[in-house]
């Protein structure tokens, strides 16, 4: 099973789209009502984690870990606090740019790659950064397979980006639930 968390108006073939009223990712009861632990192979959360506090983000990551199958993958994208673009930073800042109906009005954190990585490692995941800006603002990109979850606000798929100029980037991270290898004792 492949599940999109906080899908909004997006959908992908072969994926089950959820909204917060269906799946509250910080509520264990919500997970129990919808899924069996270890039953999900892929989770996708594009621009969801910034709507949680840091502590809520860790709780949500732990819930995702519990419901992913061994070898499962959670792909996460959030606004990048290291992207050197004043317009962008104003649009994604905590509380948004001022309008209460703006999607960023409920932002509670703007992550940098180190903080986002730490959230998922704290939950037990192995992590791999796919797209991010480092502390100097330099953009890093590693090829990723869109079949594991397509991120619209990415270098490859956002039309505001080109080879010569970045307009909209995200930190994109793969969090993997590694297989547990049992070793015999003695």
Write the secondary structure of 27-95 as one string of H (helix), E (strand) and C (coil): CHHHHHHHCCCCCEEEEEEECCHHHCCHHHHHHHHHHHHHHEEEEEEEEEEEECCCCCCHHHHHHHCCC
In the structure encoding, which two tokens stand for residue 52, read together? 């949680």
- The 10s digit of each residue's pLDDT in 35-52 is 999 999 999 999 999 999
- The 10s digit of each residue's pLDDT in 99-146 is 788 889 999 999 999 999 999 999 999 999 999 999 999 999 999 999
pLDDT value at residue 136: 96
- The answer regarding whether domain 2-176 maps to CATH 3.40.50 reads yes
- The 10s digit of each residue's pLDDT in 54-92 is 999 999 999 999 999 999 999 999 999 999 999 999 999
Q: What is the pTM of this model?
A: 0.93
In the structure encoding, which two tokens stand for residue 75, read together? 């792909």
Write phi, then psi, for 145 (nearest 5 degrees).
Answer: -85, 120
- The 10s digit of each residue's pLDDT in 65-75 is 999 999 999 99
Half-sphere exposure of 124 (CA within 13 A, CB side): 18
């Amino acid at each position: 099973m492949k599940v999109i968390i906080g899908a909004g108006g997006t959908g992908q073939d072969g994926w089950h789209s959820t909204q917060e009223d269906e799946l509250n990712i910080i509520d264990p009861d919500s997970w129990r009502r919808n899924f069996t632990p270890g039953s999900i192979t892929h989770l996708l959360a594009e621009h969801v984690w910034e709507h949680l506090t840091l502590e809520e983000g860790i709780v949500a990551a732990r819930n995702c870990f519990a419901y992913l199958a061994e070898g499962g993958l959670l792909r996460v994208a959030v606004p990048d606090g290291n992207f050197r673009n004043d317009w962008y930073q104003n649009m994604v800042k905590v509380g948004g740019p001022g309008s209460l109906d703006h999607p960023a009005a409920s932002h509670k954190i703007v992550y940098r790659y180190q903080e986002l990585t730490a959230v998922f490692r704290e939950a037990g995941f192995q992590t791999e950064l796919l797209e991010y800006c480092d502390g100097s603002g330099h953009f890093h990109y590693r090829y990723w397979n869109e079949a594991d979850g397509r991120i619209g606000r990415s270098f490859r798929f956002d039309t505001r980006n080109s080879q010569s100029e970045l307009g909209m980037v995200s930190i994109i991270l793969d969090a993997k639930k590694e297989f547990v290898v049992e070793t015999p004792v003695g």
